Amino acid sequence: MKQDAIQLKGLTKTYRGGRGQPEVKALKGIDLTIPRGSVFGLLGPNGAGKSTLINILAGLVIKTAGQVTIWGFDQDRNPRQSRAAIGVMPQELNLDPFFTPRAALEVQAGLYGVPKSQRHSDEILAMIGLSDKANAYARSLSGGMRRRLLLGKALVHRPQILVLDEPTAGVDIELRQMLWTNIRQLNKQGTTIILTTHYLEEAEEMCDEIAIINQGEVVARDSTTNLLGRLDARSMVIHPQSPVTELPSAPGIIASQRDDGAVVLSYHSQQTSADQVLEAVHVAGITIRDVKTEEADLEDVFLALTSSL
Ligand SMILES: Nc1ncnc2c1ncn2[C@@H]1O[C@H](COP(=O)(O)OP(=O)(O)O)[C@@H](O)[C@H]1O
Ligand SMILES: [Mg+2]
């Protein structure tokens, strides 16, 4: 028990529907433990309840029921200690445009009661690559720089647990690489990392362990290696040389055609090889102009898991 970073028991959140809207059961009794030292992924489609869970950890959303223990501290009985153990990089950009990056870090440190002598703003600025922008107004920073600053703000009180809510959604490759590098470095230094994502690829690259949430429930929880073995859905997109009259058909392959004429072939990589898929394409008499494979995103995976392939 001591060695868990986070422990959730029966965590429930129901948003009350205002103005005739029905209530939303965002979390339906989540039981989950997250080990110390891990990079833990909370994976799930939009609306699954990931941000709700994160925001409860951060103290930004009040839970409806259940127990939250952060670094051994019960959130209700020891709110100060449990809050001090965690730093959150939110999904939404919420920066004061009139603060410079250095000021934003200093103000945040002040909010967490970090004494001046123990602040490490310069170190954080260097880590997030904003040393040369330390004194620029936030409103003059690019979107990527603002996201990096949000990461920096989560670190001012040296939390044992860093939580990142969709850190790379909609960011360019360069920034994504930089965030990943930062995250790995922090984890190496001992910080427990929890990140939410709806990208399988990101979870695969970054996380040791993964919980999949869907509609407010944990539907799977395993090491990344084990999970991805189960979730091996792929799709191959074929752009044909000429219009297709007959879709490929073979066991283990689901073929469909897109409006633009491309043929999409869905398969499980553990059961069916890319070679077998291409063979089926040739048998159907299709000449390939261009081809690419895609790892299914989580929503595809859910579809694949519930359809009988
Ligand atoms: N403040 C809120 N009021 C009412 N419903 C909300 C609120 N925030 C989130 N929800 C609903 O709760 C569900 C889970 O949302 P969220 O936690 O943001 O999911 P995710 O981060 O996985 O996309 C969704 O149905 C969403 O519409
Ligand atoms: Mg979210």
Distance CA 269, CA 252 (A): 10
Q: Which of 51, 60, 166, 298 to mutate to test the pocket of ligand 1 (most atoms within 8 A of CB)?
A: 51
Write out the residues surrounding ion ligand 2, Cβ under 5 A. 50-51
Q: Which value, in Å, is the radius of gyration of the alpha carbons in the chain?
A: 23
pLDDT of residue 97: 85
Per-residue pLDDT of 206-252, as tens digits, reads: 999 999 888 999 988 988 877 777 667 788 999 999 999 889 999 99
**What structural domains does the chain harbor?**
1-85+159-231 (3.40.50.300), 95-158 (no CATH), 233-306 (3.30.70)
- Please say whether the beta carbons of 263 and 238 come within 8 A: yes
pLDDT for the residue numbered 125: 97
Give me the pLDDT at residue 2, please. Answer: 55
Q: What's residue 304's pLDDT?
A: 52
Judge residue 77's burial from the number of C-beta atoms within 10 Å of its C-beta, 0-12 exposed, 13-18 middle, 19 or more buried: exposed
Does residue 30 register a pLDDT over 90?
Answer: yes
Residues with C-beta less than 6 Å from any ligand 1 atom: 15, 24, 26, 44, 46-52
In percent, how much of the chain has pLDDT > 70? 94
Amino acid 195: pLDDT: 95
Question: Of 169, 145, 160, nearest to 50 (Cα)?
Answer: 169
pTM to 2 decimals? Answer: 0.79
Closest CA to 199 of 278, 295, 269, 65: 295
Q: Which pLDDT value is given to residue 303?
A: 57
Q: Please tell me the predicted confidence (pLDDT) of residue 3.
A: 81
Of 91-95, 162-166, 172-176, 210-214, the range with the highest mean pLDDT is 162-166
